Amino acid sequence: MKANTASGTRSVVWLWIVAALTATTIIVQSFGGNTTMAVVQFILGLIFVFWHGGRRYGAANIITFFVTTEIVANGLENLSIATGFPFGNYHYTHSGMPFLFQVPITIGFAYFAYGYVAWCLASIILGKGDERTTTVGGIIIQPLTAAFIMVMWDVVMDPISSTVGHQWIWEDGGGYNGVPLTNYLGWFLTVWIIFQVFAIVLHLRPKTVRSREAADFWVMPILMYGATAISYLISYMLLQTHQTITDASGQTWTVTDIYQSSTIMMLFTMLFATFLSSVTLLNSRAKKQSVSSATIANQQQIDRLSV
């Protein structure tokens, strides 16, 4: 028993190291990273999600989540590039990454990594919402909440990555710094399908969810999401350009304005989700400590009366 406990403790320590390194690379990237740093962040992020998710849900479930994400995300992205549904008319530029049909292979991995983090934050905010997927309400609310948290990231990220970075091109432009409303509606639909499938999987396999994780276990995904949010603030603060950019529709945008808009959105979406999940986790820990103290006091009272 002691050997198992020691092994579990070491595992959590190493998981914390991976989480801290991943968050650090996210922040470092905002200061002007390079391809090597991006690859390191990419690999660390995948290791963290598979490891963290495996501890909470078991290997079979987190692999199911990965496969579901790859099929749904890549399927709908390729469908939209071909037809315009559900995201709108766009295409990816060739950045040296291998493609899965018309979509870079890294896109599906990004959906998986950030999707898992969004799922965790939703679970925290809802008070172990992932365990409530056994109920009719839980199986609906948990996926919807996770979808909103996931789209918060895209609201911040997309204008910088597309209009400024040209990693993908919105062929008809869009009212939000060159990005159309259909993109966010498409994102919500896509990630909701992924989360809804995962909720159904957990509903069918409720005993596979490991419920006795310490509160610190949930700090890690909050750290990931929070680091990502802060990285956009750092990028904006370090920005030194008055360059303008013309999108595919002929609309001209100022790079500084795009970064500022994304930073404003980050402060009141991503940072708020980080704050809310942190406060919820702290309150949960305080309640547990209060209950534990009350239990001990009651037991001591019983012991005194029985003497």
Say what the pLDDT of residue 32 is: 87
> CA-CA distance, 179 to 169, in Å (whole number)?
9
301: confidence class by pLDDT, cuts 50, 70, 90? low
Q: Do 208 and 57 touch, CB atoms closer than 8 A?
A: yes
Say what the pLDDT of residue 281 is: 95
Mean pLDDT of 195-205: 96
Determine the 3-state secondary structure of 179 from DSSP: strand
Say what the pLDDT of residue 96 is: 79
Provide φ and ψ at 134, rounded to 5°. -75, -15
209 token code pair: 């969810």
Asked whether residue 296 carries a pLDDT value surpassing 60, the answer given is no
What residues are paired with 254 via a beta bridge?
244
Asked whether residue 164 carries a pLDDT value surpassing 80, the answer given is yes
Say what the pLDDT of residue 34 is: 81
State pLDDT tens for residues 168-185.
999 999 999 999 999 999
Q: Do 186 and 87 touch, CB atoms closer than 8 A?
A: yes
Residue 169: CB atoms within 10 Å = 16
User: What percent of the chain is modeled with pLDDT above 70?
Assistant: 91
State pLDDT tens for residues 234-246.
999 999 988 999 9
More confident residue, 60 or 295: 60
State pLDDT tens for residues 267-292.
999 999 999 999 999 998 877 666 55
Asked whether residue 5 carries a pLDDT value surpassing 60, the answer given is no
Say what the pLDDT of residue 194 is: 98
DSSP-derived secondary structure letter, 162 = I
Compute the mean pLDDT over every residue in the chain, rounded to the nearest whole number.
Answer: 92
Asked whether residue 47 carries a pLDDT value surpassing 90, the answer given is yes
> CA-CA distance, 281 to 214, in Å (whole number)?
11
Say what the pLDDT of residue 285 is: 80
Say what the pLDDT of residue 92 is: 98
Instruction: Enter the pTM of the model.
Output: 0.92
Say what the pLDDT of residue 215 is: 78
285 token code pair: 């820990």
Domain locations along the chain: 57-306
Asked whether residue 37 carries a pLDDT value surpassing 70, the answer given is yes
Comparing 81-85, 218-222, 286-290, which segment has the lowest mean pLDDT? 286-290
254 token code pair: 């100022």
> CA-CA distance, 107 to 80, in Å (whole number)?
14
Say what the pLDDT of residue 54 is: 96
Residue pointed to by tokens 């409720």: 206
> CA-CA distance, 214 to 136, in Å (whole number)?
26
Comparing 43-47, 113-117, 134-138, which segment has the lowest mean pLDDT? 134-138
DSSP for 196-211 reads HHHHHHHHH-GGGS--
